């Protein structure tokens, strides 16, 4: 999918892609109105009580339709308020529909992962992207001649891909839920919304501090579209990297929820074991990816984008450092969510918004896209640290100093490898491959990662 995003941005240019990217992130800001935390609540609920699926599914589907209408009105009204022009509003209409489809697919998948049907859920997670690759690949490289790719084609391709994915997921879930008819139950709606509201607030707050950077770039700067396009150069690769960690977190939430639901003496040790395993499988690869990306930031941008600027490399290098913090969040934030520690998480997210917006207001006018990247890194690092501290405060885990020492040593080695003179190698790609091989070997030597760990997660049964 990254190749498609890259191809689209190269085809339309930074300004046009920045136009799309800022609108896309704007459509995400009120995305929570589509869900109100129901997907996260549903995942946790079905994982703990699988028998609830038939009754819950028939009622939540109708609730999702109501929320879709509310979201559409609110987002389009907000677009008018901040002054989007006719062209921007026209594309925003389609993006609003696409957001509904994405939200609906995520809800449907939450039922499957809640039932621990992880293989089916994993296949669905890549279905829309696979369809996008086929459609956009043809539009970018299959038409030939004088055909000029338009950014609207990218949005329409998303509509087709999400629609087919939603239809497939709906059929699969309906079969398992023994679906007969949609139920309209206002008492149930009220109960679910009250229970899921803390999840909704958390997702809204995190969406704001994760997505508002490009919107602020477009609004605060005279060359906002271009700067948003430069920011998108690096953000798209970070987003693609985050998807791997996100898919892992989707597995972790129902597993953590089911372990914590037992509330016996062994559950705390079981959770600690899974946290350590998750850190190994997420944070260690993140350190490898970040070290290579940071060392060759400018070269990677020049390789990927035909309109890369001097700022593109710096923005990319800074944004990629967020990957370690985000991976940490996917472990510790997921555990806190499964534990129901929503009040603490919401306070953390509110702090994240304040920090992010404050830094953006200061740094964007001074450093443009690079300033937004620094604001993002600062926010992600701070919120990740807070979540680790919250987990330790709530669970009082026995601290594994040996593991922490190995992880710190691994990070220092990765950092030191970034400063080997490039003249030692005949080509920068040889340098990059050497770094990856050396760090991977070190990770296995220190027993931070092993193949059995991966198998254990995929087959995990508390």
Number of domains in the chain: 1
Tokens 């477009």 sit at which residue?
218
Tens place of pLDDT per residue across the chain (462 aa): 666 777 888 888 878 888 888 888 888 878 878 887 788 777 777 777 777 787 778 788 888 889 999 999 999 999 998 888 888 898 999 999 999 999 999 888 888 877 877 778 778 878 888 898 899 888 888 776 566 788 888 999 999 999 999 999 888 888 887 766 777 878 878 887 887 777 778 877 887 888 889 889 988 998 888 898 899 888 888 888 887 777 777 778 778 877 887 766 557 778 888 888 888 889 999 999 999 999 999 999 998 888 888 889 999 999 999 999 999 999 999 899 888 888 899 999 999 999 999 999 999 999 999 999 999 999 999 999 999 999 999 988 888 899 999 999 999 999 999 999 888 888 899 999 999 999 999 999 998 887 666 666 555 554
The span from the CA of 236 to the CA of 225, in Å, is 16
The torsion region of residue 305 among left (phi > 0), alpha (psi -120 to 50) and beta comes to beta
Domain that holds residue 341: 2-458
Cα–Cα distance measured from residue 99 to residue 164, given in angstroms and rounded to the nearest whole number: 14
Other C-beta atoms lying within 10 Å of the C-beta of residue 179: 16
Distance from C-alpha of 262 to C-alpha of 243, rounded to nearest angstrom? 30
In angstroms, rounded to a whole number, what is the distance separating the alpha carbons of residues 18 and 158? 17
Q: Measured between alpha carbons, how far is 301 from 291 in angstroms, rounded to an integer? A: 15
- CA 102/CA 158 separation, integer angstroms: 10
279 phi and psi angles, rounded to 5 deg = -60, -40
Task: Check residue 368 and give left, alpha or beta (phi > 0: left; psi -120 to 50: alpha).
Answer: left
């Amino acid at each position: 999918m990254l190749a498609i995003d890259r191809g689209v941005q190269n085809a339309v240019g930074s300004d046009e892609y920045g136009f799309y990217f800022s609108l896309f992130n704007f459509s995400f800001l009120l995305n929570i109105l589509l869900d109100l935390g129901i997907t996260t609540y549903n995942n946790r609920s079905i994982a703990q009580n699988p028998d609830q699926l038939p009754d819950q599914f028939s009622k939540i589907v109708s609730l999702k339709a109501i929320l879709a209408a509310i979201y559409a009105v609110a987002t389009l009204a907000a677009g008018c308020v901040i002054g989007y022009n006719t062209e921007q509003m026209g594309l925003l209409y389609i993006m609003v529909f696409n957001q509904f489809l994405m939200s609906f697919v995520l809800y449907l998948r939450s039922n499957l992962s809640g039932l621990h049907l992880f293989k089916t859920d994993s296949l669905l997670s890549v279905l829309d992207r696979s369809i996008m690759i086929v459609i956009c690949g043809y539009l970018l490289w299959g038409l030939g001649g004088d055909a000029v790719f338009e950014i609207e084609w990218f949005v329409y391709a998303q509509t087709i891909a999400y629609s087919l994915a939603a239809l497939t997921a709906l059929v699969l879930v309906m079969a398992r839920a023994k679906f007969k008819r949609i139920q309209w139950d206002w008492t149930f709606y009220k109960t679910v919304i009250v229970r899921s509201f803390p999840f909704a607030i958390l997702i809204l707050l995190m969406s704001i501090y994760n997505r508002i950077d490009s919107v602020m770039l477009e609004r605060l700067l005279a060359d906002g579209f271009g700067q948003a396009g430069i920011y998108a150069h690096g953000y798209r690769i970070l987003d693609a990297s985050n998807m791997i960690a996100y898919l892992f977190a989707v597995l972790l939430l129902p597993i953590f929820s089911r372990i914590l639901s037992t509330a016996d003496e062994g559950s705390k040790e079981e959770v600690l074991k899974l946290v350590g395993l998750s850190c190994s499988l997420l944070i260690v690869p993140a350190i490898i990816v970040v070290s290579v990306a940071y060392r060759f930031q400018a070269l990677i941008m020049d390789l990927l984008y035909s309109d890369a600027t001097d700022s593109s490399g710096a923005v990319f290098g800074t944004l990629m450092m967020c990957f370690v913090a985000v991976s940490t969040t996917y472990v510790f934030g997921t555990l806190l969510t499964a534990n129901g520690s929503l009040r603490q998480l919401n306070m953390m997210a509110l702090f994240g918004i304040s920090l992010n917006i404050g830094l953006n207001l200061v740094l964007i006018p001074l450093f443009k896209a690079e300033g937004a990247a620094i604001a993002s890194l600062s926010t992600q690092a701070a919120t990740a640290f807070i979540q680790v501290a919250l987990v330790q405060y709530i669970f009082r885990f026995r601290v594994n100093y040996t593991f922490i020492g190995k992880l710190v040593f691994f990070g220092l080695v990765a950092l030191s490898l970034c400063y080997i003179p490039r003249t030692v190698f005949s080509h920068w790609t040889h340098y990059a491959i050497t770094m990856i091989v050396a760090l991977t070997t070190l990770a296995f030597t220190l027993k931070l990662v092993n193949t059995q760990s991966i198998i254990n997660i995929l087959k995990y049964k508390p």
